[in-house]
């Protein structure tokens, strides 16, 4: 059988026990620890796993056609990822990867209309899902854990400060455009803490409504505005550009367009910071299950793919930073919050949706722990002398901003008689099912 042959080639470390639809049980691997197990419950799933496991495993889990030993989705996927790292392959792996590689241009041909549909697929889900999973500021991107033991709220705050330090917001009133602004958290933060005048661009109707409401409620509407517009149609020059977690949706065909737009929008002396998911092992292709169910048109590029375009754009890459394992920890904390509200989310959606989202969170976390994914931040300028010669200004700005915010929090805590804590957006289970 093709599937059994594939499993024999895959499992190089430990032992995988598989129960097949006919009730037979086989073990693959060394016979030693670590152990993992799974049960294939239908011949349909067995056939699909033999042909295209990268797509079929997630689909079979969504449909209830595969169950993992003791319900341990994370443990079993971690076992498979670990063996994949050791060179274990499916007989068709190279062929399927070659097909995906040849289709990259077509799959990522993200026209304005297609980009809008891709965004709606994932970001226009019921708001209650993200309200229980994310931090109170709705940061749906990699948090920053410089100490390693930060809470999710603290790590997302530090992420915003870290990026702001690279923007060099050295005076109030600087005009900033936030490309792919999400629910508005970064834009509101830059206005509130640095006095920036920020315009957030989004393609999501749901995120637009939330962001505008937040600006009004926080009294920041005079500094922050949000627009439903594709970045390619924005033509107002600004002092600073920030884009966090959006570049993965640009598409390889449009990298030149993106960086040409960044250059054309920056005023003299302008600075841009782009933050995105990348891969450490060179150019590749998007996992077919992720592309179909989670991020259609999405791709996490190697830095080499990005820099080859930046170098031709005329922009200066003045700082490049690789964030290792920060997103793995972020996803772990999102997964924990999702799990705590699993029953309520099942009532809100259904079991198949929750299995899909679980598979996405676990698989993504393992991509960062095992499979070479990371985050990169690139700082860009138009002129060689825009920024100081050493990075000290970033560190000084970061420490100063964090100290200022901590002082404000401490004062608020004292004024509240010690009863005030960081506001959490983790709503009650009763609320989510309404």
User: Which of the two residues, 96 and 248, has the higher pLDDT score?
Assistant: 248
Mean pLDDT on 384-412? 93
Structure tokens belonging to residue 145: 């854990």
Exposure letters 126-153 (e unless 16+ CB within 10 A, then b)? eebbbbbbbbbbbbbbbbbbeeeebebb
Query: Omega of the bond prior to 414 within 30 degrees of 0, cis?
Result: no
pTM summary value: 0.90
Angle at 365 between CA 76 and CA 72, to 5 degrees: 25
- pLDDT band, residue 67 (cuts 50/70/90): very high
* pLDDT, tens digit, 9 for 90 and up, residues 39-58: 999 999 999 999 888 899 99
- CA 236/CA 265 separation, integer angstroms: 6
Say which range, 125-134, 282-291, 302-311, 420-429, has the weakest mean pLDDT. 420-429
Mean pLDDT on 73-87? 88
What's the pLDDT score for residue 99?
56
Identify whether the C-beta of residue 28 lies closer than 8 Å to the C-beta of residue 16: yes
Q: Which residues contact 159 (CB under 8 A, 6 or more apart)?
A: 139, 141, 142, 143, 144
What's the pLDDT score for residue 126?
73
pLDDT exceeds 80 at position 61: yes
User: Which of the two residues, 265 and 424, has the higher pLDDT score?
Assistant: 265
- CA 409/CA 157 separation, integer angstroms: 13
What DSSP string describes 26-82?
Answer: EEEE-SSSSEEEEEE--HHHHHHHHH-HHHHHHHHHHTTSEEEGGG-HHHHHHHHHH
How large a percentage of the chain has pLDDT more than 90?
75
Say which range, 78-92, 106-120, 225-239, 247-261, has the weakest mean pLDDT. 106-120
**Domain residue ranges of the chain, discontinuous segments joined by +:** 2-102, 112-324+371-415
- CA 322/CA 149 separation, integer angstroms: 19
Mean pLDDT on 69-92? 80
User: Which of the two residues, 70 and 366, has the higher pLDDT score?
Assistant: 366
What's the pLDDT score for residue 117?
65
Mean pLDDT on 167-178? 97
pLDDT exceeds 70 at position 235: yes
The secondary structure of residue 214, as a DSSP letter, is H
Q: Which residues contact 38 (CB under 8 A, 6 or more apart)?
A: 16, 17, 18, 19, 66, 67, 68, 69, 76
Distances (CA, A) of 50 to 44, 174, 371: 10, 56, 22
What's the pLDDT score for residue 45?
96
Identify whether the C-beta of residue 287 lies closer than 8 Å to the C-beta of residue 54: yes
* pLDDT, tens digit, 9 for 90 and up, residues 86-102: 654 555 565 556 555 55
Average pLDDT, the chain: 89
Beta bridge partners of 38: 18, 68
Mean pLDDT on 102-131? 66
What's the pLDDT score for residue 1?
74
Structure tokens belonging to residue 219: 């009294």
What's the pLDDT score for residue 423?
41
Say which range, 105-114, 222-231, 292-301, has the weakest mean pLDDT. 105-114
Pairing of strands 316-323, 224-228: unpaired
CATH of domain 112-324+371-415: 3.40.50.150
What's the pLDDT score for residue 421?
46
What's the pLDDT score for residue 116?
65
* pLDDT, tens digit, 9 for 90 and up, residues 315-333: 999 999 999 999 999 999 9
């Amino acid at each position: 059988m093709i599937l059994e042959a594939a499993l024999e080639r895959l499992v190089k470390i430990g032992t995988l026990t598989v129960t097949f639809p006919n009730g037979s049980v086989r073990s693959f691997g060394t016979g030693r620890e670590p152990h993992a197990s799974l049960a294939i419950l239908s011949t349909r799933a067995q056939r699909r796993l033999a042909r295209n496991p990268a797509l079929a495993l997630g689909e079979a889990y969504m449909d209830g056609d595969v169950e993992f030993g003791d319900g341990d989705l994370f443990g079993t996927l971690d076992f498979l990822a670990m063996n994949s790292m050791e060179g274990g392959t499916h007989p068709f792996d190279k062929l399927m990867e070659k097909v995906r590689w040849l289709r990259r241009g077509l799959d990522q041909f993200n026209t304005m209309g297609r980009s809008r549909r891709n965004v709606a697929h994932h970001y226009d889900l019921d708001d209650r899902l993200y309200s229980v999973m994310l931090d109170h500021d709705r940061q749906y991107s990699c948090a920053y854990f410089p100490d390693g033991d930060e809470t999710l709220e603290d790590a997302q705050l530090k992420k915003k400060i870290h990026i702001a330090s690279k923007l060099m917001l050295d005076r109030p009133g600087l005009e900033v455009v936030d490309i792919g602004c999400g629910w508005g958290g970064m834009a509101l933060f830059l206005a509130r803490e640095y006095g920036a005048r920020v315009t957030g661009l989004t393609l999501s109707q749901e995120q637009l409504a939330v962001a505008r409401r937040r600006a009004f409620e926080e009294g920041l509407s005079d500094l922050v505005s949000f627009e439903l517009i594709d970045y390619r149609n924005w033509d107002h020059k600004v002092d600073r550009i920030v884009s966090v977690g959006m570049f993965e949706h640009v598409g390889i065909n449009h990298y030149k367009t993106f960086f040409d737009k960044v250059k054309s929008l920056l005023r003299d002396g302008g600075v841009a910071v782009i933050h995105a998911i990348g891969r450490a092992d060179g150019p590749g292709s998007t996992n077919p299950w992720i592309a179909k169910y989670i991020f259609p048109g999405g791709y996490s590029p190697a830095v080499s793919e990005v820099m080859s375009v930046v170098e031709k754009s005329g922009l200066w890459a003045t700082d490049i930073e690789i964030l290792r394992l920060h997103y793995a920890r972020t996803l772990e904390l999102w997964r924990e919050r999702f799990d705590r509200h699993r029953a309520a989310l099942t009532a809100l959606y259904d079991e198949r949706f929750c299995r899909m989202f679980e598979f996405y969170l676990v698989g993504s976390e393992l991509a960062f722990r095992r499979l070479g994914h990371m985050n990169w931040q690139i700082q860009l300028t138009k002129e060689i002398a825009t920024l100081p010669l050493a990075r000290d200004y970033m560190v000084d700005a970061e420490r100063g901003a964090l100290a200022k915010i901590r002082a404000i929090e401490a004062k608020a805590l004292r004024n509240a008689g010690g009863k005030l804590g960081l506001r959490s957006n983790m709503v009650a289970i009763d609320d989510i099912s309404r």
